Amino acid sequence: MSTQAVPSAILLCAISTALGCSSQPTAPSPVDSIQALGSASAAAPAAGSQGTAVSPSRFGGRTPGVVYVTSQGLHYDTFVVKDPLPMEGRFQLLTDGQTEFGPGQPGYLGGRWWVDVNENGVQDPEDHYFLCPLLPPGRSTP
């Protein structure tokens, strides 16, 4: 399996597990649940949307996803770079594909995400830590 295929396989496994068990959080939101990248609707931005059309080549061989930044009201493309990460350093909370801070804001930690798997509000070894940077520009539509 190639180095690029490993993160894709991990993301696909995580998404499949999350969809199969409603108690598991999903992160990031899979693009195919929003629209297929190769579809005509994905080839051109929606009227009034910000940003540019999403190109499949933007992600190389990686599986893309989308994260919604609540404080900006924008959706950002992303992909898994490393999963899992060790529980070392600072992480930003990601819940159901949403987070509070994005690129350009002091609270954005470069895509170092923490999913509170055990839902206790505390970062601990039972939680999920991974790296998925948000790719500008953000857009108002998923």
More confident residue, 10 or 139: 139
pLDDT band at 3; cut points 50, 70, 90: low
pLDDT greater than 60 at residue 108: yes
Question: What is the three-state SS of the chain?
Answer: CCCCHHHHHHHHHHHHHHHHCCCCCCCCEEHHHCCCCCCHHHHCCCCCCCCCCCCHHHHCCCCEEEEEECCCCEEEEEECCECCCCCCCCCEECECCEECCCCCCCCCCCCEEEECCCCCCCCCCCCEEEECCEEEEEECCC
pLDDT tens-digit series, residues 51-77: 445 566 667 777 689 999 999 999 999
- Per-residue pLDDT averaged across 109-129, rounded? 97
pLDDT tens-digit series, residues 74-85: 999 999 999 999
Structure tokens at 137: 């520009």
pLDDT of 60: 72
